[in-house]
Amino acid sequence: MVFRKISVMAKIFDARDHAVVIIDNTPVLIVKHNGEFYAMDARCPHMGCGVLSDVEDGHIAVCPLHKAKFDVLTGDMVSQPIVMPERKCEFNKELQPPLKTYRVRVSPEGLLEIDI
C-alpha cells in the first residue's frame, strides 16, 4: 500500500463535506464524515456514464442520472438505479458494485494522501 499525495488541502473540507478529484484519469469521490476522510471510485457502475458527485447523509453518494446510491465508507450499492420502464439494470462490466474504496490520510503539510 502506497499513499499518493494529491493537490488537495484537507482544509477545504472545513467548508464542504465532499469533493471529486481526478487521479490517473479516474474520478474519485472524497468525503469527510464524522471527522474522518473516505474515498471511493466515483464512476457509477450503472452504464458507467454518471460521476458520483452528489452526497447525502454525509457518506451516501448519489448518481445524478438514475439516482443509484453507494456508501462511500464501504463502496456498497445501497439503492438501485431508478429506470423506466422498470426492468433489471445492466451494469458496466468493468465497474461492478461494490465500488473500490481507498484509505485517505492527511500529510504533515495538510495535503490529502490516498492509498491508490
Residues that contact ligand FES, how many (by CB under 6 A): 10
Window of 8-16, 22-30, 43-51, 53-61 that interacts with ligand FES by CB under 6 A = 43-51
Identify the CA nearest to 95 among candidates 43, 32, 56, 52. 43
Element (H, E) at 31: strand 26-33
- Tell me the closest approach of the beta carbon of residue 4 to ligand FES, in angstroms: 27
List 8, 65, 73, 111, residue binding ligand FES (CB under 6 A): 65
Window of 3-11, 23-31, 45-53, 101-109 that interacts with ligand FES by CB under 6 A = 45-53
Considering the rule CB under 6 A, would residue 46 count as an interface residue with ligand FES?
A: yes
C-alpha–C-alpha distance, residues 28 and 4, integer Å: 13
Burial of 9 (0-12, 13-18, 19+ CB in 10 A): middle
Window of 7-15, 19-27, 61-69, 105-113 that interacts with ligand FES by CB under 6 A = 61-69
Identify the CA nearest to 65 among candidates 45, 39, 93. 45
- Tell me the closest approach of the beta carbon of residue 61 to ligand FES, in angstroms: 10
C-alpha–C-alpha distance, residues 87 and 75, integer Å: 23
Considering the rule CB under 6 A, would residue 63 count as an interface residue with ligand FES?
A: yes
